[in-house]
Structures are given as structure tokens and as C-alpha cells.
Amino acid sequence: MLRVDPSETDALVTEQGADRMEMKGRPMNGWITVDPSVLDSADALDGWLEHGVGYARTLPPKG
């Protein structure tokens, strides 16, 4: 599960192995799952981590 910029959700779920998260039957923008089968290299994993970490850096600090 990966938190991403909600405005990028539609584009990211077109990537192989990526799906929009559903919580209580509702599709959730900004949350996706990535199937482990597509994370078969460090580069593939790093690409997804860049999306998640990049978005996290835009959020205000929790206090």
C-alpha cells in the first residue's frame, strides 16, 4: 500500500501491477497497492518509493 498525490492516482493505476485501494467498498484516490510481482528490481521499487516519499514530503508535519 502506498500513499501518493491524489491527483496522480488515475495515471499511476495505469501502471502494470498498480490498483486503486478500496476501503469499505469505496475507491480511494491517493492510495494504491502495487503487486509485489512488478517489484522485481531495485529500480522498480525505487520508482514507486519516489512517488510515495515525494508526496509525503509535501504534507505538513504532524504535531
Read off the pLDDT of residues 11-60 as tens digits, 9 standing for 90 and up: 999 999 999 999 999 999 999 999 999 999 999 999 999 999 999 999 99
Grid cell digits, residue 1: 500500500
Residue 62 has pLDDT above 90, yes or no: no
pLDDT at res. 16: 95
SS3 at position 52:
helix
Task: Provide the residue ranges of all domains of the chain, joining segments of one domain with +.
Answer: 2-56
Residue bearing cell 508535519: 61
pLDDT at res. 7: 96
Q: The pTM is what?
A: 0.85
pLDDT at res. 63: 78
Strands ordered across the beta sheet of 18-23: 2-3, 26-34, 18-23
